[in-house]
Amino acid sequence: MSQKSKRAVPRTDAVTRLARRRATKIATEGRVALVEGPANSRLFVFLVGNYILRIDQVRRALYHGDLDLALVGEVIGAAGIEPGLRDAVFREKHEYFDKIVGIEDLRSINSTSIAIATGIPRETVRRRIKRLLKLGFIVEKEPARYVMKPGILLDPRRQAAFALGIDQTVQFINELLENGVVRWEPARRARSPARK
């Protein structure tokens, strides 16, 4: 595999950790599963494309038309909160956006890690970080390490964007179900041990 193709689908330690860890709050009664057949059906690709378009319109509005700026800012935000979300007490305290997560509770990230996670060239990441600092979206917690500015997510525009993003995500999941692309699969019950 060439170096270029390796960068096309970045795989970071954070992504690997997230893929391995299921931090579910409650046991589920089942899960959504792909319907048998090609996972790259035309309908699936169409629905995913429409969903991404709707979400990117919201992101573009929040980040002055710059999706690279959005991605860099969102990676900084996700990296900052990810360790806390593995802790039940932290999750309960910060379940909703009505409380500010203090800077001391956020993990910082540097431009190299962001470049690796996003596939965006490091110099482009550095320019976007400078812009995010100037806009007041992020702060430098340690030299060359950044976190989302505490309280920035309480901004009414961001709150409206989150609500719209959640609505769009629910709409997307329902479109997949309604069009038969995915189905609900009840959880398999564990067999009780045989009695002697």
User: What number is the average pLDDT over the span 12-34?
Assistant: 60
The dihedral sign for the CA sequence 120, 122, 124, 130: positive
Q: 103-133 as b/e, with b when 16 or more CB fall inside 10 Å?
A: eebbebbbbebbbbbbebeeebbbbbbebbe
Q: pLDDT value at position 193?
A: 59
Q: CA 62, CA 132: separation in Å to the nearest integer?
A: 12
Q: CA 84, CA 150: separation in Å to the nearest integer?
A: 14
- pLDDT-derived band at 70 (thresholds 50, 70, 90) equals very high
Angle at 146 between CA 74 and CA 159, to 5 degrees: 40
90, with CB counted inside 10 A (0-12, 13-18, 19+), is: middle
Which sequence spans correspond to the domains of the chain? 39-178
Residue, of 14 and 107, whose pLDDT is higher: 107
User: What number is the average pLDDT over the span 57-76?
Assistant: 96
Q: CA 47, CA 52: separation in Å to the nearest integer?
A: 9
Query: Mean pLDDT lowest for which of 9-13, 93-97, 130-134?
Result: 9-13
For domain 39-178, give the fold.
Arc Repressor Mutant, subunit A (1.10.10)
Instruction: Answer yes or no: is pLDDT of 89 > 70.
Output: yes
Q: pLDDT value at position 104?
A: 94
Instruction: Answer yes or no: is pLDDT of 5 > 50.
Output: no
- pLDDT-derived band at 8 (thresholds 50, 70, 90) equals very low
How far, in whole angstroms, is CA 133 from its chain's centroid?
Answer: 21
- pLDDT-derived band at 15 (thresholds 50, 70, 90) equals very low
Helix (H) / strand (E) element for 183: namely strand 182-186
Q: pLDDT tens digits, residue range 134-172?
A: 999 999 999 999 999 999 999 999 999 999 999 999 999
Sequence-distant (≥ 6) Cβ neighbours of residue 24 within 8 angstroms: none
